[in-house]
Amino acid sequence: MGTAIAGAAALLALGFGVLVWRGSEPGGIEDAWALIFGRPDLGPIDFQTFERRATPNDALACPPDLCAHARPDIVPPTYPVSGERLRLMIAEAALADPDTQPVFAALWEDHDRYLARSRVLRFPDTIDVLAIERSENRATLAIYSRSQVGRGDLGVNRARVERWLDRIGAIVARG
């Protein structure tokens, strides 16, 4: 009996290893997560009306006057650039992360959505970003990063938001 259980566990481990090894290829771990948890893109949010999750697997940077129903972890700065320019800088900062890709760009508003995956197990996170024009050549932003899988995220979403804000600040500084 014990040998059969050990053999079954070894086969499961081997199968999981093959899924991880295949990664983003068809039949890899990304497809397995999609079968188990659904589409990796969690869809859009409305920064003015959404509420944060009860689970600790998200992070929010948002001006308090925009996110009326969600307490931000970080209040983002106002940058000396237009909203349109800030949107391009956000994209540059986001795409500097490996395994991050755009999944949605609003045509008539400055709202974009990205999908980021963890390196080895390829867990998907959805990141909504909104560039907010404050006045001529002054803009700020809102970023909401959330995990699809698991109750906690070991600080991954907050670290991502902080990293993107640091990159955006550096891009603004270099002009």
101-156 pLDDT, tens digit per residue, is 999 998 888 899 999 998 867 889 999 999 999 998 999 999 999 998 888 888 99
pLDDT of residue 83: 93
What's the confidence (pLDDT) of residue 166?
A: 97
User: What's the pLDDT at 25?
Assistant: 56
Backbone angles phi, psi at 173, to 5 degrees: -65, -35
Pick the CATH number of 41-174 from 3.30.310.40, 3.30.310.80, 3.90.110.10, 2.60.40.10: 3.30.310.80
pLDDT greater than 70 at residue 87: yes
Cβ atoms of 140 and 134 within 8 Å: the answer is yes
Categorize the per-residue pLDDT at 13 as very low, low, confident or very high, splitting at 50, 70 and 90: low
Upper half-sphere CA count for residue 162 (Cβ side, 13 Å): 6
pTM summary value: 0.84
